[in-house]
Chains A and B, each alone.
Chain A
Amino acid sequence: MVTVERVWEALGEIPDPEIPAVSLVDLGVVRAVAVEGDTVRVEFTPTFLGCPAVEVMREQMARRINELGAEAEIDIAAEGWSSDRITPEGRRKLEECGFAPPAPGGAPTTLLQLQEIVSRCPYCGSEDTRLENLFGPTPCRSIRYCSSCRQPFEQFKAI
């Protein structure tokens, strides 16, 4: 018999397709899990609406649930993801692999707010960093530069 705990545990072992250091559960994209008989229902919310990894994540979750001996029903939740959903564990793992975690409080609404975000360099810990480019290699990341250790690094966007 599949339990909700087993499902959370299994989903917590699936690496994010773009940042494999964090799991889908660390990232907060799994919103809810329910078990109804032989069916596991997962409510899921992608980081960005146009995220190209949605299908990959959906298939991986379905496969893990099938391995537990249940059918998977994966629905996209109407309520959107926010970077505040990344768990403390997820933020720690991001920083460990060279990503600055997002500033708390969701998306800034003005350029001034954006520029006032203080961000710590994940390599040397300095706060003497600046925004280099809003648009990084994927929609959810921007590029910053550390003036102290002269290293560019990526930051998860606050959204």
Chain B
Amino acid sequence: MPDWARTIARHWLYETADAIRIGALKASGDPEVAGLAEKIDREEAYHRMHADMWADRLRDEARFRSAVDELWPSALGLLEPGQRDRLCETLGREPVDPVERGEHTEELRPLWEEMTMVRRSVPGASW
């Protein structure tokens, strides 16, 4: 059963972690990377506001809180090891063993099959 509170918890954790990652990219020595990150950051401001607005409304809901607890290890895994303390500080949470990127759940396979079906059926096609 899809759960709105869980969707918002995931969205909010992702945006909060992503802000730390984009902040690091903005400080890149490669001007192209830094320039893109600066532009992405301005667009992301709207995504963060959207996530914060909903998280504020749901903050005291039991379903939202348990979803945040459940997804917290995945949120930590979004960041490089050196950036994870920042996320703990930002959210005031204790570090746990992160779920590292690349550890996909079984839901990914059928989704990937479907999303790439057309491209795989006619390799090299352009439209």
Residues of chain A touching chain B, judged by Cβ–Cβ distance below 8 Å, are 48-49, 78-82, 106-111, 114, 134-135, 139, 157, 159
Contact = CB atoms under 8 A, between A and B. Distances in A.
Interface residues of B, number: 15
A111 B42 contact: no
Contacts of A80: 35-36, 38-39, 42
Interface in B13-72: 31-32, 35-36, 38-40, 42-43, 45-46, 49-50, 52-53
A134 B49 contact: yes
B49 A48 contact: no
Contacts, number: 42
11 contacts: A49-B36, A49-B39, A49-B40, A49-B43, A80-B35, A80-B38, A109-B45, A110-B49, A114-B49, A159-B45, A159-B46
A80 B41 CA distance: 11
A78 B31 CA distance: 8
Contacts of A109: 45
Closest 3 CB pairs of A and B: A80-B39, A78-B35, A107-B42
A107 B35 CA distance: 16
Given A48-B43, A49-B39, A134-B49, 5 more contacts: A81-B39, A108-B49, A135-B46, A159-B42, A159-B45
A134 B35 contact: no
